[in-house]
Amino acid sequence: MAKSKKIPVYGMERWSSGMYIKPVETNVGERLHYARSEPHRHDFYYVVLIAQGSMAMEVDHTSHELADRSLFLSFPGQIHSITSAELGRGWFLAFDPGLLDQQIKDLLNQCLSEVMLIDLAR
């Protein structure tokens, strides 16, 4: 039987100490195209807000589609990968669980037993 490939875990220190925010903005009508990413985990909360564009992701072996005006939130330890993305405007936000007090972490973990994907267009 073949050995399964180990899924990497990326830590917050790879980008910053505690919090990371990156805007995505292109010229009107243009889109940034992202290639497929390999499955991986984070040791932090990860938020994607798409104002314009689309993104397809797999999270814990389930496919999810994000479109204009949608918000995605995942919690530490989830296996995920981007399968495709064409972004016009949006933001990536990541934050260390250590920034949150225990009550907020408990609440988020209860709410995030599954992927949180919110359509903000409604």
- Mapping DSSP onto H, E and C, the string for 22-41 reads EEEECCCCCCEEECCCCCEE
Token pair in block for residue 63: 């496919």
User: Domain with 41 in it: what CATH number?
Assistant: 2.60.120.10
Cα(14)–Cα(64) distance, integer angstroms: 26
Per-residue model confidence (pLDDT) at position 3: 58
Cβ(25)–Cβ(57) below 8 Å: no
Residue 39 lies in a domain: yes
Per-residue model confidence (pLDDT) at position 41: 92
Number of structural domains (the chain) is: 1
What residues make up the domain containing 53?
A: 9-119
Query: Phi/psi zone of residue 52: left (φ > 0), alpha (ψ -120 to 50 degrees), beta?
Result: beta
Residue 111 lies in a domain: yes
Q: Are strands 80-95 and 32-34 parallel, antiparallel or unpaired?
A: antiparallel
Point out which residues pair with 52 in neighbouring strands. 89
Residue 3 lies in a domain: no
Q: Which has the higher per-residue pLDDT, 66 or 32? A: 66
Per-residue model confidence (pLDDT) at position 15: 65
Q: What percent of the chain has pLDDT over 90?
A: 20
Per-residue model confidence (pLDDT) at position 93: 92
Cα(11)–Cα(25) distance, integer angstroms: 25
Q: Is the pLDDT of residue 1 over 60?
A: no
Residue 65 lies in a domain: yes
Cα(67)–Cα(78) distance, integer angstroms: 21
DSSP 2: P
Residue 2 lies in a domain: no
